[in-house]
Amino acid sequence: MLTKEPALTDPAVRRAEPSVADFEAWMASRQRRLLRTAYLLTGDVHAAEDLVATTLAKVYLAWDRVTAAQSVDAYARRIMVNENTSSWRRLWRHREVVTDTSRHDVPVPASEYDGVADALWETVCALPERQRAVIVLRYYEQLSERETADALGVSPGTVKSQASRALTTLRGRLGTRTDLTGWEAQR
pLDDT of residue 145: 92
User: Is residue 145 within 8 Å of residue 156, measured between CB atoms?
Assistant: yes
For the ranges 1-10, 61-70, 134-143, the lowest mean pLDDT is seen at 1-10
Band the pLDDT of 12: cuts 50, 70, 90. very low
Nearest partner of 81 among 156, 157, 170, 149, judged by Cα = 149
Spell out the domains of the chain, with CATH numbers in brackets. Answer: 19-91 (1.10.1740), 113-187 (1.10.10.10)
pLDDT for residue 95 is more than 80? no
Nearest partner of 88 among 128, 37, 28, judged by Cα = 128
User: Kind and range of the H or E element at 173?
Assistant: helix 156-174
pLDDT for residue 157 is more than 90? yes
Read off the pTM. Answer: 0.57
Q: What is the mean pLDDT of residues 92-104?
A: 55
